[in-house]
Amino acid sequence: MAKNKSIPIKPSKLSVYLYIPNIIGYTRVLMNCFAFAICFSNKWLFCALYFISFVCDGIDGWVARKFNQVSTFGAVLDMVTDRISTACLLVILSQVYRPGMVFLSLLALDIGSHWLQMYSTFLLGKASHKDVKDSTNWLFKAYYGNRMFMAYCCVGM
């Protein structure tokens, strides 16, 4: 009788799309689509959905690390979802509160600063834009190195 040899199974490329944090990401996209579709007709539901999506943004990263389901696809999904939801919120706020230029300026700052951070990370050959251990900028180190400070900046400001 031959013994069964255990052969390591490589995850298929499709499996990364079914990671738990990525499913949370898809849920965030759907919630945001619905929230922005009803933003003017049901402000309370919009706020609730946007807030839940915001909370899920923190949960998906924790789940990815907890279950070792970190992926480039998930990181990009998360970042793109963040940028689009922030951009949509700022555009809506620019229509509700006049003058809207303040919100449009914040939109330009958000997109520009994230693009510059990602591009500089790419030029330095780092795997993540959150890798700031070599940075001389104390604010980057505080923001990306201390989750409580990051949460305060995202929620409290």
Distances from the Cα of 17 to the Cα of 39, 60, 73, 83, angstroms: 29, 13, 8, 20
Do the Cβ atoms of 52 and 20 come closer than 8 Å?
A: no
> Could you tell me which of 154, 42, 29 has the C-alpha nearest to residue 85?
29
What contacts 22, CB < 8 A, 6 or more positions away?
Answer: 16, 60, 69, 71, 73, 74, 77
H or E element, residue 12: none
Is 60 one of the annotated active-site residues of the chain? Answer: no
SS3 67: coil
Catalytic residue among 60, 82, 110, 131: 82
| Enzyme catalytic residues | 82
